[in-house]
Amino acid sequence: MLPAPPAVPWAVSRAALPVVSELEGETSLLFSSRDTEGRAWIGRAELDLGDGRASASPRAEPVLTPGALGAFDDSGVTSSCLVHHESRILLYYTGWSRGVTVPFYLFVGCSVSDDGGKTFTRVSSAPILERNPVDPYLTASPWVLVEGDLLRMWYVSGTGWRAVEGETRHWYHVKYAESRDGISWRREGRVCIDYAAEDEYAFGRPCVVRDGDLYRMWYCVRGSAYRIGYAESRDGLTWQRKDDEAGIDLSAQGWDSQMQAYPVVVDQAGARYLLYNGNNYGETGIGYAVLAE
């Protein structure tokens, strides 16, 4: 387990949705914590991955705060992906706002850094993936790869809301988009990962890694609780789910015995690490596993 964030007003509970990237010449871990009002903020820790172990030193100042009153992200921001593109660093995140007929709305936002990751500024007070005919309900949790002059995104897209057992429940799966600048995205409704069982209704943030000519995607999928799934593709468009090959399963007891969610895979210090959240959406912090030789 990695340590909890510092005891500051914006981080009183949880450390969810880990993201690993180089910032200011150091390996950094971004994560989302909640304040006393339940709003998510994005924080940062310096991460040390070496000798099959992981340690992190959280910073007291947040990287990104909730948006202005009335904006798409005024109820919270959750980390999703960091991309180095040309001379800039793009931080993609999910913006939250509270609803009336449904509990919440989610949309993809973007913040950029022109100083190597020291500071980040929103590209707009509006989301970069707003509702449209392809995504009429919500967008969230993007993962982006840069391939030449093309940026490729896999993101969560809502397919509807339903009343289930006295609550309003969301349904969303994983779609695909492309961009040349990382800000304006072309969406054609390409579904990459879809529901495969009667009880599945939500997919968490995908993480895509390209190993040669093979694309690998780790994600979490929810029925009664989130579990980590896995899929493979030769082109990044057509995917085959192979959840049994995710490489990890619920522990018999302890912090990740009920739920495993929001996986991110990173290669550091000659090893492949899987960072993820356990029970209750990151309430128990961030844990990690190392790929067995």
Identify whether 280 is part of a domain.
yes
pLDDT in tens, 256-278: 999 999 999 999 888 899 999 99
d(CA 172, CA 140): 9
pTM exceeds cut of 0.85: yes
Q: Are 54 and 290 in contact (CB under 8 A)?
A: no
Q: Are 45 and 62 in contact (CB under 8 A)?
A: no
More confident residue, 8 or 82: 82
Identify whether 235 is part of a domain.
yes
What integer pLDDT is reported at residue 250 of this predicted model? Answer: 94
Structural domain harbouring 120: 13-290
d(CA 107, CA 127): 6
Identify whether 239 is part of a domain.
yes
The one-character DSSP state at 8 is B
What integer pLDDT is reported at residue 198 of this predicted model? Answer: 92
What integer pLDDT is reported at residue 269 of this predicted model? Answer: 80
The one-character DSSP state at 59 is -
The one-character DSSP state at 152 is E
What integer pLDDT is reported at residue 184 of this predicted model? Answer: 98
The one-character DSSP state at 237 is S
- For residue 214, give the CATH number of its domain: 2.115.10.20
Tell me phi and psi for residue 191, to 5 degrees: -90, 125
H helix or E strand, kind and range, residue 267: strand 261-268
In single-letter form, the type of residue at position 65 comes to T
Mean pLDDT, the chain, integer: 94
In single-letter form, the type of residue at position 55 comes to S
Helix (H, G, I), strand (E, B) or coil at 281: helix
What integer pLDDT is reported at residue 3 of this predicted model? Answer: 60
pLDDT in tens, 49-104: 877 677 888 898 999 999 999 999 999 999 999 999 999 999 999 999 999 999 99
pLDDT band for 293, please (50, 70, 90 cuts).
low
Among 125, 124, 120, 130, CA closest to 155: 130
Please say if the pLDDT value at position 10 is more than 90. Answer: yes
pLDDT in tens, 189-248: 999 999 999 999 999 999 999 999 999 999 999 998 999 999 999 999 999 999 999 999
Identify whether 3 is part of a domain.
no
Identify whether 193 is part of a domain.
yes
CA quadruple 216, 221, 178, 63: dihedral sign: negative
Among 63, 40, 248, CA closest to 141: 40
Among 164, 185, 202, 176, CA closest to 281: 202
More confident residue, 214 or 293: 214
Identify whether 269 is part of a domain.
yes
Give me the residues paired with residue 242 across strands. none
Identify whether 1 is part of a domain.
no
In single-letter form, the type of residue at position 155 comes to Y
pLDDT in tens, 106-157: 999 999 999 999 999 999 999 999 999 999 999 999 999 999 999 999 999 9
pLDDT band for 292, please (50, 70, 90 cuts).
confident
Identify whether 8 is part of a domain.
no
Please say if the pLDDT value at position 4 is more than 70. Answer: no
In single-letter form, the type of residue at position 87 comes to S
pLDDT in tens, 172-183: 999 999 999 999
Number of domains in the chain: 1
Helix (H, G, I), strand (E, B) or coil at 126: coil
CB contact burial 268-286 (16+ within 10 A = b; e otherwise): eeebebbbbbbbebbebbb
